[in-house]
Structure 1
Amino acid sequence: MPKGKGSSMSEGEAAAGAYERWDLVEGMESEKREQRKARKGAVPSLLTLSPERAITLLYVLLALTFVLFMALTIVTLQRVSAMWEALEQARMRSENSHTTARHNLSEAQDTLDEQLSVELKVMRGRLQNVSQEVERVWWKVAECQRECGKELADRLRVLEERDVLEPVLQQLAEARQEQSRVAALLDKALQETHNLSEIFCTRCPSGWQQFDRTCYFFSSTTKPWLAAKEFCTNFSAHLAIVDSQQENKFLANHVMENQKFWLGLTDRYREGDWQWTDGRSLSLPFWNNGEPNNVGSHGEDCATIYSNGRWNDVPCFQAEPWICERSC
């Protein structure tokens, strides 16, 4: 094949390939333009809908929106209801636990009070036995002092009457020293016996009740608060002062049903400032519900105790029974 002819065919084939690629690119560009036109024409096609169809389509969209809103609302309400039920159950469990705790605490306190009451009775019996024994010892010591003192005095008198020499005088001096020493020991023993009697005090005046080394008098007549206070003072006592729950319970147990007794508690000097007769401020109250309320034109400035252990404020001029308190 000649050289010039082969070169001419190669150029023709290259040109034909270039035309084919150009046609392919042109076809792809044409398809893209058609697609863009189709998308742009979609919106105008909605605008070309009839008013009835557009309103219908709008109603459908609104209905779908409403259904979706209601579904979300129902789900939210269900969650809120579930959370509310859980909170209510937690509150009920908390109240039940608090009620159970208060009930258990009340039962434990009652049991402890009963145990303390039994133990106090046992201790009181033991203290009475100790007091009786101490009293017997005291009388024995006093009797010994009288007898020993009499015996030593007799010996000294006999020795003094004799006209003896120096050894006898020395014995006399030693006897006197022994007498002094025995007398001092007896005085010390008597003092210690007296101190023990005060420590183990188990005796109160006739008509008085004892509790925790203290004597209490529960009157059978009535007086105004100031007159009752003066009555206690005449017996080296004072109107009852409550220092513990056990003491308040003891006083309540001796108060007759449907009666109230004066306590040594008043706010007659300054309203609302409740103080005991010894000047101490009230720190452990046992007021009844709604008390003190200071009702009436004359006010209520003096405290009383009921048989249930609760207190009430009443006018000081009323005549009520009273409770005196003193050390035994």
Structure 2
Amino acid sequence: MAQNVGADGTCENWELTKDMLLEDQTPRKTPKRAVLSLLPSSPQRAVVLLALLLALSFVFLLALTIANIRRVSAVREELERAQLRDQQSHTTAWHNLSEVQHTLDMQLSAELRAIHSRLLNVSQELEEVQQKMAQCRAECGKELRDRMRALEGRDELQPALKQLEELRQEQSHISTLLSTALEETHNLTEMFCTRCPAGWQQFAKTCYYFSTEKKSWIEARAACSMLGAQLAIVNSELENKFLANHIMEIRAFWLGLSDMQKEGDWEWLDGQPLSISFWKKGEPNNVGQHGEDCATVSSSGLWNDATCTSPEAWICERSC
């Protein structure tokens, strides 16, 4: 009986131990089930999650693109405003420069008119001096001849001959002085040009006319011929600068220069070959179907070859 009690106790202990072991294993399996419950239960859920991630990525990229586009638009607007300000400042500067040039030209024209008036007065005075000198020369010569004839008729020949010699020396001296004065007067008259027509500009001993209308090169040459002039011929850098300074607008004026006779062989209307030139960079280039055989000058002082039938303004020149 005691043995049966021991066996029952052993069985009870074994059952108790088994239950404890089962209780210990139950909480260990619970986290594994929770983790497995979080994993996708099917391929459809995986596809949905992948699509959601792609949608989020697309939205993020779209937001970045919009932000960059806005930045680029802002930079472009700022550049356009800067270009507009630069154009406005350039226009204002050009306008101010044109006004200053116009004011200087008006002042220079007034001074030139005053100088022209004074030169006319000097020219008139010189002509009067020349007339008086010629009259004096004629009268003095007549008086000297009368005195010499009177002295020759006297009996006292020695004093008369001596006085006659003195008179001849005085006459020679006066004649020399008159010749020198007349030569200086002639040189002074040639030095100043005082007879340019109204509306013409003067440079050295030449008068220049700047047209306000446009014609072809042939018609411009004929128009200058009707005025007793010819298309302008440039002989020096100073003359070229003078022409450029009187071209206020951005336009071209015909010169008396062409290569009609032989392409590339430029010569002036008077037949002189081209010895000094002020071509633009890359000119003359003879472009176009009909070529460019006539030369123009602009306000920059640079030359360009153009089609001779194109309507342009022109410059005539003539001597004073």
With normalisation by structure 1, the TM-score equals 0.57
Question: Match of 2:123?
Answer: 131
Code of the residue aligned with 2:151 in structure 1: it is L
Question: Match of 2:65?
Answer: 73
Question: Match of 1:50?
Answer: 41
Which of 164, 175, 179 is the aligned partner of 2:167? 175
2:148 and 2:318 mapped to 1: Cα distance? 48
Give SS of 2:308's match: strand
1:269 aligned onto 2:261: yes
Question: Match of 1:313?
Answer: 308
Check the 8 A contact 1:300/1:314 in 2, yes or no.
no
**1:57–1:326 distance in 2 versus 1, CA, 3 Å:** closer
Question: Match of 1:279?
Answer: 273
Q: Deviations over 1:254-282 (max 9, x none)?
A: xxxxxxxx974433212466542143479
Question: Match of 1:214?
Answer: 206
Which of 104, 113, 123 is the aligned partner of 1:121? 113
1:239 aligned onto 2:234: no
Which of 152, 171, 177 is the aligned partner of 1:160? 152
1:187 and 1:140 mapped to 2: Cα distance? 13
TM superposition shift of 1:284? 7.2
1:53 and 1:323 mapped to 2: Cα distance? 90
May I ask how many residue pairs the two structures share in their alignment? 243
**1:94–1:211 distance in 2 versus 1, CA, 3 Å:** closer
2:276 and 2:160 mapped to 1: Cα distance? 72
TM superposition shift of 1:148? 1.7
Code of the residue aligned with 1:240 in structure 2: it is L
2:55 and 2:207 mapped to 1: Cα distance? 90
Cα RMSD after superposing both structures: 4.6
Check the 8 A contact 2:230/2:316 in 1, yes or no.
yes
State the identity as a percent: 51
Question: Match of 1:110?
Answer: 102
2:79 and 2:316 mapped to 1: Cα distance? 55
Check the 8 A contact 1:266/1:302 in 2, yes or no.
yes
Which of 193, 200, 204 is the aligned partner of 2:192? 200
TM superposition shift of 1:185? 0.6
Code of the residue aligned with 1:97 in structure 2: it is S
Gaps of 5+ in 2: 1-31, 210-216, 235-239, 247-253, 280-285, 297-305
Check the 8 A contact 1:241/1:263 in 2, yes or no.
yes
